[in-house]
Chains A and B, each alone.
Chain A
Amino acid sequence: MRWTIVAATLLLVVLASGVSSAAPDDALTPAQSARYHELAAQFRCVVCQNRSIAASDAPLAADLREIVARQIREGRTDRQIKAYLVARYGDWVLYDPPFKFGTLLLWLGPFILLLIGLGLIVSLTRRRARSDRDSAADETSLDRDRLAALLAEPDDTPRDTHNSRARR
Chain B
Amino acid sequence: MRWRVIIPGIVLIALVGVLGYGLTRDPHTLPSVLVGHPAPPFDLPTLDNPQHTIGVDAMKGRVALVNVWASWCVACRSEVSVIAELSQRTGVPVLGLDYKDDRDEAHRWLRRFGDPYARIAFDAKGQTGIDWGISGVPETFVLDRHGIIRDKVVGPVTDETMNDRLIPLIEKLRAEGG
Contact = CB atoms under 8 A, between A and B. Distances in A.
Note whether A and B form a binding pair.
Answer: yes
* Contact size range, B: 10 to 19
B33 A90 contact: yes
Contact of A59 (B28, B34, B37, B100): B100
Contacts of B133: 87-89
A60 interface: yes
B34 A88 contact: yes
Contacts of B136: 47, 60
A67 B100 CA distance: 15
A92 B30 contact: yes
Contacts, number: 43
Interface in B82-130: 100, 125-127, 129-130
B27 interface: yes
Contacts of B33: 86-90
A94 interface: no
B124 to A, nearest CB: 12
Main secondary structure of the interface of A (DSSP, over half): helix
B10 to A, nearest CB: 13
B163 interface: no
A67 B127 contact: yes
A92 B126 CA distance: 21
A88 B40 CA distance: 10
A54 interface: no
Interface in A62-89: 63-64, 66-67, 86-89
A79 to B, nearest CB: 17
Contacts of B37: 87
Given A46-B135, A59-B100, A64 B130 contact: yes
A49 interface: yes
A90 B130 contact: no
Given A47-B136, A88-B133, A89-B135, A63 B126 contact: yes
Contacts of B34: 87-88
Interface of A: 46-47, 49, 59-60, 63-64, 66-67, 86-90, 92
18 contacts: A46-B30, A46-B135, A47-B28, A47-B135, A59-B100, A60-B130, A63-B125, A63-B127, A63-B130, A64-B130, A67-B127, A86-B33, A87-B33, A87-B133, A88-B34, A89-B33, A89-B135, A90-B30
